[in-house]
Chain A
Amino acid sequence: MKTGIEVKDPVTTGILDRLMDQPAPFLEVLHAIQDHHGYLSEPALRLVAERFQIPISDLYGTVTFYHFFQLEPKPLPDIRICENSACCLHDLDAISKEVVDADLGVAHSGQVEKISCPGRCDMPVPILIGEKFFHHARAGAIDNMTAATMPLPPQTGLEECLFRDIRDGIGSLEGARSHGAWQSPKLAASDPQEVLSQLKESGLTGRGGAGFPTGIKWDAVRNESRGPKYIVCNADESEVGCFKDRLLMAHSPHAMLEGMACAGLVTGAEIGIVYLRWEYPEILESLQVAIDEATAAGLLGEDACGTGRPFRIVIRRGAGAYICGEETSLLNSLEGKHPFPREKPPFPTTHGLFDLPTVVNNVETFCAVPAILEKGGAWFNGLGLGDHAGTRVFSVSGDISRPGNYEVPVGTSLRELLETHAGGTPDGKTIQGVTMAGISGGFVGAADLDVALDPASLTDLGAMLGAGGIIVHDETRCMIQAARESMHFLAQESCGKCFPCRIGTVRVTELLDELIEHSSGNPVIRANPLEELADLEEVLEETSACGLGMAAPFITRTLKKYWPDVVQNYIDGQKTSNPANPRKGDSGE
């Protein structure tokens, strides 16, 4: 075995000594090394492999999976610009040129790299240099990216759960406590059954998109005899068009931490881990402040909230990979394994982090818990319209007057959300369609804007509600191009393990590219594009190993459903829909 290490790297050794006893230290160790050295050198990685007892080849392969781990030193950072659905409605080439020439006070290499959505669709176009975000609002205006935009006041008469105090300065512990925060963990410790019964009554389901009932999940983990158990907060909000978790963590971090503490005390877990996406560096800082404040106040730690039971929370930072938002990929990522999704069953409730019983919930799910326990499950349940339970937060972006996050009752119509809350299109144009779930839930066309925003109603339309991101496309947009951008994102972010997703997402992207090029006079190579598309959709939906590939057909099926003439015209080579700008993405690689 070649180690190639003559002199041990004292910095890396120090980092390993300091962090190895911490919960799930793998990502933390790599980030600490990269933060110090600027990259992950071979000697450093060999030390890491040795300490974690991971074969060096496996460690190398795992590191290459992520967007933001670097294996080579780079004196100056590249300029990274979001290329995905909401941002590519803008002229990215022009913006790139502008950024290269602008004096932003930050040194960069002058190289522009397009990246996947960094969750700032309400402030297009985000530009990332090093770990600093800028915001290109319009030509000639590049500013520092501000904190997540506070949600607008709710419409008259609308009761909120997650946002009810968010505008009143509950980001600090003091502010949060002045609004009654951190009361529920006592109940969780003294009467866990009551917590479970309130959660079940509330109808709260997983807000990451899968929609599993939260009370049942916690109950399952509580009933597991093996331990130690873990609470994992999925803050790897990576879906294009979703930026609600960023807002909640920025302005209501204590609700999330409190929800996690409740989960710990109910299930018997003593450690909570927030898996935070790399692209939220400002949240990394502010959330750590919130954790430190709560720990200093005795709300977290050895005697959490005076319950006599320990519960502490650590943040683990991702490294850029959409698939790590899939809960089993996330767990593999925390463990230092190759972040492919796991086969399910078994589910994380029985075999989660390090194969131990684990609650994995989304940020929004945890944030809803304290209010539910304060005001009762029936109260939350009653916030929904009709038979629907509770409220949900939707991230609205694209061609919309007031992009941002909105908390509305489940069952609110899409039209009401877009027109009444978000103000409709900025210049009176007609909405042609919107993307759902971010982008992976397909489209809803203008004809169905009255659909109720609840999972079942969207499923009935052949779309998916998912994590609640909605990108609005007005009448001038090219919906084939929009579909292409969505599919391109999935192709970029497919983990590559299962064949249907790895090949299928790329092939559908290429097929859409071919149609778009055909409308500019290039020949269509395929004899029967629609038949090929249908076959690809079928295997993607029915044979993919995880939700990424399974969801991909929502995009093209709803495209064909709402805009059949447009698709046919593209096949016939007559462009009828007018792209707002001449953007032209690269092909699916």
Chain B
Amino acid sequence: MTEIGSAPLTGDTMVGGDDVIEDARASLWRRWLRNPSALIGGIIVVLVVASAVISLVWTPYNPLAVDPSHALSGPSLRHLLGTDEYGRDVFSRLMASSQVALFVGFLSVLIATVVGIPAGLLAAERRGATGQVVLRLADILYGFPALLAAVVLAAAFGASKTTVVLAIGISYIPVFVRVTRSNALVVLNSEYVLAARAYGRRPLAIMRRHVIPNILTTIIAQMSLLFSLAVLAETALDFLGLGTAAPAASWGTMLQSSQNYLGNDPLLTVWPSVAIVLCVLGFSLLGDGISELRDVRSSR
């Protein structure tokens, strides 16, 4: 039922063009700043990325430099967070580890999106046999959570960073297929897509003009969330010795070697733990924040 008296659509609401977009951008920033999840998550992510980037060119000490005379020294001015059992600087190793986390997170999410999103779009567009095949293939991968996939790959090819990235990436493909497909279906079933079809627009054009812009925020939120899960998985795999090999620094390997010093030097366990939790928290908060921002937008 139409409400009486609602403003008739006139040309007035359409003019404005760039100003309106400019305005929308400004208000997106403002809403970003007012959304605690997006704000805190964003700050943490920026910090982690900054530490990884800085560690490429500078760390307080060489993260691999062994110094037996200063092994297991607690936090001090020389070594901010102390040293490990080989006298390596813990802070430097934490910084270097953030590279590994971001590398693994980025590449695995990339694999999952590059395969999963087109597959999801295909399954949404071709609901017949093609779509079914895509979904069944996704089902197969669904049986292999990141950890299991990594173990199988490690058994076959030997454990390395590559198997970790592949395993995590592959195991997240079905997630992207499902998210993309279900969100794309909503758009494809909408009236404006029906109208576009009626005008004779090709499926690819509809994907580009209508579907992708509409599901983009959801996908980005999902990417941020899966990034956090990838870091969790990477930590676990490194801990199990199925990923980054010693002596290279990663939060997981640091945890693994700290296991022998739980009693004498619990801080060796605490530092990488804090780093992991912060990093994961940052990306998951960012993902939540992005979805909240989207919800606000769609409810307006």
Co-assembled chains A and B: no
| A residues neighboring B (CB under 8 Å) | none
| B residues neighboring A (CB under 8 Å) | none
